[in-house]
Structure 1
């Protein structure tokens, strides 16, 4: 029997369910499923993905790791226990870089772990980006200078928090903010400290439990003409932040004078 057949047999035993129950969830016959467990047949990719979703175990782990040797709860907590990050290539053998469109950027929060969603994204290839998994994300808002709306930032997938490098910019996919581009400034046990490149915004912390994905900056693609922003051409939000800082500074000075 293969590692895969032993794995799915073990996982079913852990769930304490019958072959028929698993087969019903996969929408196949019990006889067909039984052949996967005894190793006489191998499932096609669509069934393999369904099994991965059913057990919440990545395809890579199902196929290559003897999961009977490890506690199931630890396997489920692995940061790379993912099913959406295979390094796919185009007809020329170049890495395919999926492009998350501007209009559907928030939809990425719902689709990032869905292989069908990822496969449906448009893609491009950049020959100078190799040895990793890359994805292109849209720039929005005013906290990502010098990138304007219409720019795509291409990031390289980062598996764990220990791989983050101080001072390096990343695309963080979080449950609260969605897609956000920030510079990593350090980490504690439960959070990471980040700072926007826009000096009008203060550094802040993101709970590690809120972070779904991390992508290290690799390059950017600008789809619109770059325009220099004049110092007096501030957005209303920037004006508000600037005034707030000035008011806070005045309050601090007044308080210090009263204590003298």
Structure 2
């Protein structure tokens, strides 16, 4: 069965070994005969019945999607430990909820817009289909596949993206897909505003950094404080960007030179 990026057999063996169970012991825990379990783990069962996949998924507290399509041997020790304690949902964001969306007459997803006056209401109503249905909505050409939403941006921490711009973000279903310093809007639990920052995932927390470091120093938030993450796709602004000053150009050149020096030093 382990073809076309299906990792069921190797994942089953890895999960069993992490619990230090023999094949005989694991078979008993699942209510199988030794021969049936061995056939499943060794790939001798070409198309395992769905009922068996669900039983194994529930036993190891891993989603069917990850059990079949994720190479668990590539997961970090933190992710595997979280999986075994039932806390993996906080890393992936899957513990939050299913996203409420709206569609147009052609059954294509709308791009909902959260106006400034609806910011506080969105925190409370983000999981309410009726609230989402009342938001302004429109379509945009050339959007890739996925779910998108538009958020108004305030504050000076992400200059030169000016306050009053509108951020278009793509919904991040699995937080583990975020790389280092990805610009995102975070919808925070209990907050009255959205947080627009560079996001880096840590062990149980997100590191948030501003584009304008003078305005705000980096800080961290726990996974449990975050309701939704929307990865930057584009933004709209009614203000022309300011021309780059000579001082700013010099600063950028120095920054690039320092980065090149660090790269050369690391190669030594």
Question: TM-score normalized by structure 1?
Answer: 0.55
1:184 aligned residue (182, 199, 222):
199
1:229 is displaced (CA, Å) by 8.8
Conserved? CA contact 1:169–1:183, under 8 Å: yes
Conserved? CA contact 1:148–1:226, under 8 Å: no
| Matches of 1:173 and 1:192, distance apart in 2 | 13
1:141 aligned residue (139, 142, 155):
155
Deviates more, 1:92-101 or 1:210-219: 92-101
| Aligned residue in 2 for 1:103 | 117
| Matches of 2:220 and 2:166, distance apart in 1 | 24
Which runs of no fewer than 5 residues in structure 2 stay unpaired?
Answer: 1-52, 62-84, 246-268
State how 1:218-233 maps to structure 2 within 5 Å. 218-222=233-237, 224-226=238-240, 228=242
1:119 aligned residue (110, 114, 133):
133
1:214 is displaced (CA, Å) by 0.4
1:192 is displaced (CA, Å) by 1.0
Which runs of no fewer than 5 residues in structure 1 stay unpaired?
Answer: 1-64, 232-260
Would you say how many aligned residue pairs link Structure 1 and Structure 2? 164
**Alpha-carbon displacement from aligned partner over 1:203-231 (angstroms, at most 9, x marks no partner):** 11111110100000001122x33353999
Q: Quick check: 1:211 aligned with 2:199?
A: no
| Matches of 1:68 and 1:84, distance apart in 2 | 27
Conserved? CA contact 1:193–1:206, under 8 Å: yes
State how 1:49-198 maps to structure 2 within 5 Å. 70=58, 79-80=93-94, 82-86=97-101, 88-91=102-105, 94-177=108-191, 178-188=193-203, 190-198=204-212
| Matches of 2:98 and 2:55, distance apart in 1 | 16
Deviates more, 1:140-149 or 1:190-199: 140-149
Q: Root-mean-square deviation (CA), in Å?
A: 3.2
| Matches of 2:144 and 2:103, distance apart in 1 | 11
1:104 is displaced (CA, Å) by 1.6
| Matches of 2:117 and 2:158, distance apart in 1 | 18
Secondary structure at 2:118 match in 1:
coil
| Matches of 2:111 and 2:98, distance apart in 1 | 16
Question: TM-score normalized by structure 2?
Answer: 0.53
Conserved? CA contact 1:84–1:114, under 8 Å: no
| Matches of 1:82 and 1:184, distance apart in 2 | 21
| Aligned residue in 1 for 2:50 | none
